[in-house]
Amino acid sequence: MNSSSPNGGNMGPINVDTVIVGNGPSALILSYILHGHVPFYAGNHDDRILDSKLAACPNLLNAKPEYAAHFPSSMRYSTQALPINVLLDTLIRPDADTSLGTRTCVRWAYRPELAVSHLVVGDASCPGGQWEEDPGTLDMNIGTLSYAEMLSLPDYSIEDHHLQVYGEKMPELIRPTRREVAEYFAAYPAAVAIDDAVLSSIHVSDIRRTSESFYIGSHGISCKNLVLATGIFTNKILPPPRLQPLTMLNKTPVASDAPNPSPEEALLVIGSGFGAADVILSAPPTQKIIHMFKWNPEARPSPLKACHHQAYPEYAGIYRHMKLASISSRTSINAQTRRNSTMSNRRKSIAMLGGRDWKTTYEGIPNGEIINVDVDGEDNRAAIVTIKLPSEAVIERRVLGLQYAVGRRGTLDYLSKPLFDELFAKAISHHGNEKQLFSHDSAANYQAPISGDTFRAGAEKSLEIAPNTFIIGSLTGDSLIRYSYGGCVSVAGKLMKSATQILETPEDSVPSSVSQSEPQSLSSSVSDIRRHPHPETPRLEPVKTSGPAHGFVPEAWQSRDEQSPIQTKAPPPPTSQHPPTEDGESPVIVPSAGNAGADTESSHNVPTSWWPQRQAPGCVVS
Ligand SMILES: Cc1cc2nc3c(=O)[nH]c(=O)nc-3n(C[C@H](O)[C@H](O)[C@H](O)COP(=O)(O)OP(=O)(O)OC[C@H]3O[C@@H](n4cnc5c(N)ncnc54)[C@H](O)[C@@H]3O)c2cc1C
């Protein structure tokens, strides 16, 4: 019997073993494993200690963080990421940080009889999570921070996809564009035959714990295990109230293919990290930019500082312009003139970075404070912004738009309050300080924005943050895709109990492209969900805004600790991996709207071998 959906749609009740909320890269990796792909150590890792430990226990679903106990004594391994994530990272790509090549120490064995029934439900329009979101004014052709091989998922790499689509090998050491990565993730589920379980454009809410399971009120789904893979980048941090009038201005086009704006039409960009840099890089070269940023290179440097000028010329160039602006702001005119006459070659080369004449179209204002905003005229076309400089001088600038790019946050507003409270209580018990888990003005509010810090302390103990409730992906505090594998393998080890019993690499493995059977009853229920993706559930606004916040440090993504100063390691050579971190701005967070859902509850037991219907192809990222 079908139950009624919150939005009046007639959805079939569904019961699966596991629901993964979020359809980003980590959800796709976990789904791949839950389809019956068991990772085995294939040998040949040149870390002898690790090799001997794993040779005795090659089924990686049993991998323990203890296998990485000796890692801290080696310069080779990251000390920032979770040990289980570093472990799988070095097994998947043992040579990642030292040489080219695709050597791996992991073999995926396909054992469909061990598959666990599950659904991946995410609100991104295609598989890929935040990579599939509308970038707004940002240019989809901006290169990713990671090199291509660090973005690959199991069994069908981004290089495979490139070959498939373009008929030629992907060049080595390439930073693909955001568009290419989005297209790769969108194609991935079909390529490895997991698309039967991956649902996109589905926003779930009202997830509750019931006596023995979970119930997703918005879509009438019951499950024994709940995996949260909703990431920490869903919502852009909103400007503080004083800047709100600037968000009402008629939007100034900033896409790089927009008609050339007049030099007088300034865009105000606020932020000191990658989000702000991406906005500047996406703007037409003639667009005048007024860039306000925090400048504290000793205590809290911009994440852009870690960008080597050969590996990341565009970000290193912007950092240099910020630095020049900070020097100018505290140097007398005479000294500036002397300095200009001895301008280095590199400085000359950044003078026209990205085709922009930086001298005339970029004004950097370090550590300024906006003390007043006057919307100019009735048509909301422009505003006069009054800025107090660190010297106490006050200046005014006319701006036609604001891009507030100081960071992004995730949310758990899709959980019922009791379930949120349960997870929050656990997080506090691990962390000890609730104010550091959430922004100071929203602590203990279950709609509060969350960061990589929220569950980090708990994740260091277990990714099962509460009974049958797991986290993977950037929610664990390790945001890079390369570090998603460890968490997914670890969680899969708990969900696929029978698969952990396999001791040896099975010889009878079949290729992973074999798909499972698709029973009609669950298929029709899932197709109902596909027809009714959006129950009437209020969401955080804005839901899909642009202006991402990320950055990187040489060793690890530091989103879990925004207060930490950047690492002081020397810039890596261009061949190295450069993990990102969030923008180095103190966030101003505006409390968000609530959510609601249905009270209907139903159950319909489905054998673990049953699978929902295959997703219609054709998810194209434009
Ligand atoms: C601008 C930017 C650039 C980055 N560049 C890199 C890079 O170069 N290399 C790298 O390794 N990492 C990069 N990252 C880090 C990023 O965290 C990872 O690439 C990766 O996307 C994390 O995957 P995830 O599985 O945790 O989930 P995400 O990709 O964050 O996806 C989670 C999804 O869950 C959805 N969701 C949330 N709530 C619900 C709900 N209630 N119902 C349904 N769906 C929901 C969200 O809308 C989102 O689509 C970047 C991040 C940003 C923001």
Report if residue 614 sits inside a domain: no
Phi, psi of 15 (to 5 degrees): -130, 115
Q: Whose CA is nearest to atom 48 of ligand 1?
A: 129
- How many angstroms is it from 234 CA to the middle of ligand 1? 7
With a Cβ cut-off of 6 Å, ligand 1 is lined by 21-27, 121-124, 129-131, 144-146, 150, 202-205, 229-231, 233-234, 408, 414, 473-474, 479-482, 548, 550, 580
Measure the CA–CA gap between 421 and 143, rounded to whole angstroms: 39
Task: With residue 31 as reference, give the H or E element that holds it.
Answer: helix 25-34
What confidence tens digit (pLDDT) does each residue in 457-499 have? 999 999 999 999 999 999 999 999 999 999 999 999 999 987 7
563 domain residue, yes or no = no
| CA of 25, closest atom in ligand 1 | 25
Which protein residue's CA is at the shortest distance from atom 1 of ligand 1?
A: 548
One domain, residues 424 and 508: yes
Asked if residue 557 is part of any domain, the answer here is: no
Measured in Å, residue 131 CA sits from the centre of ligand 1 at 6
CB 208 within 8 A of CB 19: no
Pairing of strands 14-21, 118-121: parallel
Quote the DSSP letter at residue 438.
Answer: S
Looking up residue 329, the CATH number of its domain turns out to be 3.50.50.60
> What is the number of domains present in the chain?
2
Q: Are residues 329 and 311 in the same domain?
A: yes
Higher pLDDT, 575 or 447: 447
- Whether 559 maps to a domain, the answer reads no
Given a cut of 60, is residue 55 above it in pLDDT?
yes
Q: What is the mean pLDDT of residues 235-263?
A: 73
Single out the residue in 353, 382, 405 at which a domain terminates. Answer: 405
What domain range is 392 assigned to? 241-405
Listed range (62-66, 170-174, 447-451, 607-611) with the worst mean pLDDT: 607-611
Are 417 and 380 in the same domain? Answer: no
* pLDDT over 60 (residue 554): no
Pair 363, 499 in one domain = no
Q: Which two tokens stand for residue 474?
A: 């950037």
What is each CA distance from 408 to 252, 260, 373, 442, 546, in whole angstroms? 22, 29, 24, 15, 10
Domain presence at residue 440: yes
Please name the residue whose Cα sits nearest to atom 17 of ligand 1.
Answer: 479
Kindly state whether residues 220 and 331 are assigned to the same domain: no
- pLDDT higher than 70, residue 75: yes
User: Band of the pLDDT at 211, cuts 50, 70, 90?
Assistant: very high
Same domain, 372 and 258: yes
Taking CA atoms only, the protein residue closest to ligand 1 atom 12 is: 480
Q: Which among 230, 304, 412, 553 is the best mutation to test ligand 1's pocket, defined by most ligand atoms within 8 Å of the CB? A: 230
Q: Does residue 223 form part of some domain?
A: yes
| ipTM score above 0.85 | yes
pLDDT at 99: 73
Closest ligand 1 atom, CA of 145? 8
Among 502, 531, 560, give the residue marking a domain's end: 531
According to the 3-state scheme, what is the secondary structure of 60-126? HHHCCHHHHCCHHHCCCCCCCCCHHHHHHHHHHCCCCCCCCCCCCCEEEEECHHHCCCEEEECCCCC
Statement to judge: residues 291 and 361 lie in one domain = yes
| Same structural domain, 320 and 365 | yes
Q: Tell how far the Cα of 129 is from the centroid of ligand 1, in angstroms.
A: 5
Last residue of a domain, one of 531, 566, 586: 531
| Tally of CB atoms within 10 A around 502 | 18
Domain-embedded: residue 585: no
Q: Which atom of ligand 1 is nearest to the CA of 472?
A: 26
Domain shared by 178 and 260, yes or no = no
- pLDDT bracket for residue 95 (50, 70, 90): confident
Residues 321 and 463 grouped into a single domain: no
Residue 606 lies in a domain: no
Read off the pLDDT of residues 399-447 as tens digits, 9 standing for 90 and up: 999 999 999 999 999 999 999 999 988 888 876 666 566 554 444 566 6
Are 314 and 216 within one domain?
no
Between 41 and 534, name the one with better pLDDT: 41
Looking at every residue in the chain, the average pLDDT score rounds to 77
Whether residue 314 is found in the same domain as residue 330: yes
